[in-house]
Amino acid sequence: MSKVDGIIIKAIDGFFYVLSNNVEYFCKSRKKFRFKDIQPKVGDKVSINVIDDDKNEGIIEEIYERTSEFIRPNLANVTQAFIVLAYLEPKINFELLNKLILNFEASNVKINIVINKCDLHSCENEEELEKIFYKFPYDIIFASVRENKNIDYIKSKLNKNISCFCGPSGVGKSSLLNAIVNKGIMETSELSTKIKRGRHTTRFSQLIYLKDLDGHIVDTPGFTSIEIPKSINQINLKNYFIDFYEFNNCKFRECNHINEIGCEIKEALDLGNINKLRYDAYVNLYNKFKEKRK
Ligand SMILES: Nc1nc2c(ncn2[C@@H]2O[C@H](COP(=O)(O)OP(=O)(O)O)[C@@H](O)[C@H]2O)c(=O)[nH]1
Ligand SMILES: [Mg+2]
Ligand SMILES: [Zn+2]
């Protein structure tokens, strides 16, 4: 028996597929995890005991500490997210964008935003987008799978990461992933009627390891519609807006940046140093929480 470290790339019917040095091990988990209220998940870094070297079978002995965790989809250690949207087809959904951002901020996941289908844009659209995303506090990547625009840049960001791609349907996530992995392993919507129940349909989460980029990507049916995380409330909401951090010098320490005197955030907004959409999203959510408390 030998011990190796690896990462769970797939979990099916109580069995785990653990990738270690390019070898895939078929593993069971130690029963003890069940009593400790911890279940191995896809993305977990684990230590396994190899019980059969020829058949590559092992037992998961230890789960290393997670850097991030999701329940739905059931994933551990996602390090970065690409929120994929289109501007025109389908029309961009800012509410969903904000919800996804809050979820990833609450889970310690680095955020990138991809605006796909740029090939459809007129010059006017480009200008609108420049304005909309002015001072947006995340990397905004204008991309086109169709015209191979910025696909290599997205690829370059995958190195040493576990990356997930999420966003509404029809924005080109599957197309993008196919362009990244260079194979038709993801189902795109044009094909979906033909092979609806075929092997390409994503029904569970798994990691796909890209050897040349040394990074994992998450293939998951989840992350499309999502709620505000339970850990966020009216008072701590402001801490999830990273664009507020550099202006944290309001007159009142407890300032909620709504209409208090000497609010640096509002001043930054007026000077155009904070994105208007972001601030509006903040106020909107703040008021929603306030309503709930009444
Ligand atoms: N014009 C244009 N269409 C695209 C682009 N990327 C994907 N599509 C199309 O958008 C539709 C939805 O793509 P799909 O990858 O299935 O989106 P998903 O639902 O997010 O996975 C398909 O018809 C794609 O061919 C792009 O960059 N430009
Ligand atoms: Mg898809
Ligand atoms: Zn303030």
* 277 CA distance to ligand 2 middle (Å): 27
* 209 CA distance to ligand 3 middle (Å): 44
Cβ(174) – ligand 1 distance below 6 Å? yes
Residue 59 exposed, middle or buried by CB count within 10 Å (0-12, 13-18, 19+): middle
pLDDT at 32: 73
* 30 CA distance to ligand 3 middle (Å): 50
- Taking each helix axis from N to C end, the angle separating 276-293 and 94-106, rounded to the nearest 10 degrees, works out to 80
Instruction: Please state the atom number of ligand 1 nearest to the C-alpha of residue 175.
Output: 15
* 227 CA distance to ligand 3 middle (Å): 26
Pocket probe for ligand 1: among 120, 188, 193, 195, the residue whose CB has the most ligand atoms within 8 Å is 188
Tens of pLDDT along the chain (294 residues)? 799 999 999 999 889 999 999 899 999 998 777 667 788 999 999 999 999 888 999 999 999 999 999 888 889 999 999 999 999 999 999 999 999 999 999 999 999 999 999 999 999 999 999 999 999 999 999 999 999 999 999 999 999 999 999 998 899 998 999 999 876 555 554 443 443 444 445 567 899 999 889 999 998 776 665 788 889 999 999 999 999 999 989 999 999 999 999 999 999 999 999 999 999 999 999 999 999 877
In order, the DSSP letters of 174-224 are: HHHHHHHHTS--SPPTTTTTTTTTSTTS--S-EEEEEGGGTEEEEE-S-SS
Domain boundaries along the sequence of the chain: 2-65, 75-219, 237-293
On the CB side of 248, CA atoms within 13 Å amount to: 10
pTM: 0.90
- Alpha helix positions (H), the chain: 32-35, 94-106, 123-132, 151-156, 173-181, 264-270, 276-293
pLDDT at 4: 96
In the numeric block, which tokens belong to residue 15?
């069995």
* 271 CA distance to ligand 2 middle (Å): 40
pLDDT at 196: 40
CATH number belonging to domain 2-65 = 2.40.50.140
Cβ(144) – ligand 1 distance below 6 Å? yes
Taking the C-alpha atoms of residue 219 and residue 206, their distance in angstroms, rounded to an integer, is 5
Q: Which residues fall within 8 angstroms of residue 289, CB to CB, at 6 or more apart?
A: 233, 234, 237
Taking the C-alpha atoms of residue 65 and residue 122, their distance in angstroms, rounded to an integer, is 47
| CATH class entry, domain 75-219 | alpha beta
Establish whether the linkage from the previous residue to 40 is cis, with ω within 30° of 0: no
Taking the C-alpha atoms of residue 94 and residue 107, their distance in angstroms, rounded to an integer, is 20
The fold for domain 237-293 equals: Ribonucleotide Reductase Protein R1; domain 1 (1.10.40)
Neighbouring C-beta atoms of residue 172, cutoff 10 Å: 25
Name the residue with the closest Cα to ligand 1, atom 6. Answer: 172
pLDDT at 40: 93
